[in-house]
Amino acid sequence: MITPVRPKRSLGQNFFINKNQAKLIARKVIEPIDIPKEKIRLFEIGPGTGVFTHEFINQGVHEKNILVVEKDDDIARQWPIYFPDSRIINDDILSINLRQTIQKFRPDVVFGALPYNISKRIINKMIHNKYILKNQIPLYFIIQREVAEKYCDRNHKSALSVISGLRTSSRILMNISPESFAPRPKVNSSLIKFTPQKPHEIKHLQEFEHFLSSLFKKRRQKLINALLFYTSEINAPKNKEALQELASVKKYQDKRAAELSTEQFKELFDELITEYACDILSCNKDE
């Protein structure tokens, strides 16, 4: 492993230091893959000191089959000394051409102990990658436990669970205490697995995701108010009376967004796109 490395607050770094737990986590990531370990192609985000990279190699993954993305210039400079046969991209995972990188590398699994402050953005980028979805590449991430629980909420009370559930299934594999990191974070963490699945058969899926995201911004308000907020976001006419006349709005008018199921959201969206097709579709083309 790379030592010594001083964590940078600007990069949200909390280095993993629990070697016994690192072994267990590496095993949970590697063992379910149904190909010989020496052939596994592993894509790692933010490897830090290389504690997990080291364990993946110890458990049979060939170093030459590992590609890491690391933003920290100091770590990137030292990386070839400790892991000379692996490949490294010294850049921000949110800035690289992920589609091209994944397509070229063709990973069998993706892993990352993610900075808490950008974990949701990284996960969103990964679960929308066409190669990962098409080839059902499993994704394993260490993130804040509270966020992991929202992704795995079976009652779909958060935008994270509903939107990610359109393309993946998710489950928490284990919880991790702050003592496993240096410096110690103020929150608990979890190892979460995302398994890509065939996306729901929803026409205009991207627009539907935007619709869900918008409604959950007003999830504690009555449905009609959340819908008015959505129509303002897509620059559609704010006509409360017209919205209230829609059959699905009448059906769920006393509910809040957080109380609706995916199927009920779909029912609402199907009616809305009939009424506001030009506004909804043009809005997302401009984004």
pLDDT at position 284 over 60: no
What would the mean pLDDT of 153-164 be, rounded to a whole number? 84
Q: What is the pLDDT at residue 159? A: 86
Q: What angle do CA 49, 52, 56 make, to 5 degrees?
A: 135
> What average pLDDT does the structure give for the chain?
91
Confidence class for position 4, pLDDT limits 50, 70, 90:
low
- pLDDT-wise least confident of 9-18, 64-73, 90-99: 9-18
In this structure, are strands 189-196 and 139-144 parallel, antiparallel, or unpaired?
A: antiparallel
Of 208 and 157, which is predicted with more confidence? 208
Confidence class for position 287, pLDDT limits 50, 70, 90:
very low
Q: What is the pLDDT at residue 134? A: 93
Q: What is the pLDDT at residue 80? A: 96
The 10 Å CB-count burial string (b at 16+, else e) for 224-259 is bebbbbbbeebebeeeeeebeebebbeebeeebbbe
pLDDT at position 283 over 60: no
In this structure, are strands 87-89 and 109-113 parallel, antiparallel, or unpaired?
A: unpaired
Q: Which two tokens stand for residue 265?
A: 């959201």
What would the mean pLDDT of 151-156 be, rounded to a whole number? 84
pLDDT at position 281 over 80: no
Nearest by Cα to 21 from 275, 254, 191, 222: 191
Query: pLDDT tens, 160-201?
Result: 998 899 999 999 999 999 999 999 999 999 999 999 987 666
Domains and CATH numbers, the chain: 9-196 (3.40.50.150), 205-286 (1.10.8)
Q: What is the pLDDT at residue 200? A: 67
Q: Which two tokens stand for residue 104?
A: 């070229």
Confidence class for position 11, pLDDT limits 50, 70, 90:
confident
Q: How many CB atoms are located within 10 Å of the residue 199 CB? A: 11
Query: pLDDT tens, 239-248?
Result: 788 888 889 8
Query: pLDDT tens, 21-34?
Result: 999 999 999 999 99
pLDDT at position 218 over 50: yes
Q: Which two tokens stand for residue 129?
A: 């990658």
Query: pLDDT tens, 114-150?
Result: 999 999 999 999 999 999 999 999 999 999 999 999 9
Confidence class for position 235, pLDDT limits 50, 70, 90:
confident
Q: What is the pLDDT at residue 286? A: 43
Residues with Cβ < 8 Å from 268, sequence gap 6 or more? Answer: 227, 246, 248, 249, 252, 260
pLDDT at position 42 over 80: yes
